[in-house]
Amino acid sequence: DAGVIQSPRHEVTEMGQEVTLRCKPISGHNSLFWYRQTMMRGLELLIYFNNNVPIDDSGMPEDRFSAKMPNASFSTLKIQPSEPRDSAVYFCASSSEISSSGANVLTFGAGSRLTVL
Amino acid sequence: GQNIDQPTEMTATEGAIVQINCTYQTSGFNGLFWYQQHAGEAPTFLSYNVLDGLEEKGRFSSFLSRSKGYSYLLLKELQMKDSASYLCAVRDSNYQLIWGAGTKLIIKP
């Protein structure tokens, strides 16, 4: 298995531009998570999907952020318009059913490092 | 509120043993995880505890005491490649992961 695949790995953009981050989860995993990581705030959950349905988006900073999961193998996180304070590493992670017992380990993608100038 | 505390940074010597502590206060408990994150890379799973006691996996062991809201990760025979951040995370009653800020472990020769 290729693991969780994210693109782009690095993105540098100017304030006000639209940014789209992409994620392909591990096949068979039905939960998908978008995290943001910064030195100041650590790892923050933005949103998660279960069976392609958004379950909890309370971590999404504001209306400039949106996420979609049109099918089981693809998700996007969009920032429009972007601001310098959005600069961070954005991780996508997937796991099997989160509400069942057992470890249900999160497998993270390599991350997308976003810099907004 | 929900809170996970772990030391910000620790230093240890190659070949030695180090213990990284984690204390938590969460709404319910459905397991505790330790992840390793090398600089510039993604977190990777190390261990999972749901019952009290010690789980051993090679050079790494993880301990849990649910009554004390406490866990530790024990790393033996330290190697330079163990230099990384170690993240403690607790799954609460809603099966949501609450993450600690991570402990940066520096290994010196």
Average pLDDT over residues B68-90: 97
C-beta atoms of B45 and A107 within 8 A: yes
Q: Percentage of chain A surpassing pLDDT 90? A: 80
Predicted local distance difference test score (pLDDT) of residue B94: 84
Burial class (CB in 10 A: 0-12, 13-18, 19+), B9: exposed
For B82, phi and psi rounded to 5 degrees? -80, -5
> Which has more confidence, A63 or A101?
A63
- A91-114 burial code (b ≥16 CB/10 A, e <16): bbbbbeebeeeeebebbbbbbbbb
pLDDT at B32 exceeding the cut of 70: yes
Distance CA A59, CA A47 (A): 6
> Which has more confidence, A101 or A26?
A26
Judging contacts by C-beta atoms under 8 Å, the chain B residues touching residue A103 are 31, 33, 45, 48
Mean of pLDDT over chain B: 95
Average pLDDT over residues B39-44: 95
A25 touches chain B (CB under 8 A): no
Predicted local distance difference test score (pLDDT) of residue A16: 97
pLDDT at B1 exceeding the cut of 80: no
C-beta atoms of A45 and B31 within 8 A: no
Distance from CA of B27 to the nearest CA of A (A): 15
Predicted local distance difference test score (pLDDT) of residue A99: 55
pLDDT tens digit sequence for A24-60: 999 999 999 999 999 888 999 999 999 999 998 989 9
pLDDT at B29 exceeding the cut of 60: yes
Average pLDDT over residues B46-65: 95
C-beta atoms of B42 and A111 within 8 A: yes
Q: What's CA A6's distance to the chain center, in Å?
A: 9
